[in-house]
Chains A and B, each alone.
Chain A
C-alpha cells in the first residue's frame, strides 16, 4: 500500500511513551509526556502533552490534553487546550473541542467541531 512507504511525520519523532501495534489498553491513561498510539486504546486518555494516533492506531476514548494529532482512527470526544489535527488519511468520528482544529485534505471526519471562538454561530441570533 502506498502509505507503507510513507510512515508519516511522527515516525521521525522520538516518543518516550508508545502503545505498539498489537497492544490493546482498556482503561485510563494519564501522563505528562507525548504518547504515540499505534495499537488500540479504549477508555480515557488525560495528558499534559500531545497524543498522537499513528497511522495504525485506533483510539476509542475520551481525550483531554493540550494537543492531539490523528493519523489513524479516532472515535470519541476530545477536549484539547490548543490544537487538534486530523491528518490526511485519518478517520474520525465524535466531538472535537479545541481553539484550533486542523483538518487536512484527505482526512475523513463525521461529528461535531467546537472551536470555542466565543463567536456565536449566528443561527441563534
Chain B
C-alpha cells in the first residue's frame, strides 16, 4: 500500500489521522494521530502534536510527541518538545530540546 506523503511543496493545517504510514516532506500544522509510523523527512517540518507508533525525525518537529513506541531523531533531525515513548534514539548531530519521559512497562 502506498504511503501517505505530504510532499515538500504541500502544507496541511488540521488533523491527520489514520492507519497508514505518514511521510512528511512538507509542512504539517495541527495534530497528527496515527496508528502507524510517522517519518519526517528533511526538509519536512511538523508543527503539531504527534501520536504514532514510531516517530522518525530527519526534518524538524516542534510539538509534543506522545504514545510512541519508538522515537528516533536522526543526525539531520531537529526536535523541540516533550517526548513520551517506550524507546528513544538520538543520533550524534541531532538537535533536541524538551523533556523525555520513558514508559517503563517491563514485565
Contacts and interface: CB of A to CB of B under 8 A. Distances in A.
A113 interface: no
B75 interface: no
Report the contact-size class of chain A (Cβ under 8 Å from the partner): 20 to 34
A16 B11 CA distance: 13
Contacts of B91: none
A5 B62 CA distance: 42
Nearest to B30: A27
Nearest to B23: A18
Contacts of A23: 4, 16-20, 22
B18 A39 contact: yes
Given A20-B2, A20-B4, A25 B14 contact: yes
Contact of A26 (B7, B14, B26): B14
Contacts of B106: none
A104 B12 CA distance: 31
Contacts of A20: 1-4, 18, 20-21
Contacts of B20: 20-23, 39
B4 to A, nearest CB: 4
A16 B10 CA distance: 9
Interface string A25-42: 111111111010011000
A17 B26 contact: yes
Interface of A: 15-33, 35, 38-39, 43, 49
Q: Which 8 A-B pairs have the closest CB atoms?
A: A27-B14, A17-B7, A31-B10, A23-B18, A16-B7, A20-B4, A22-B19, A20-B20
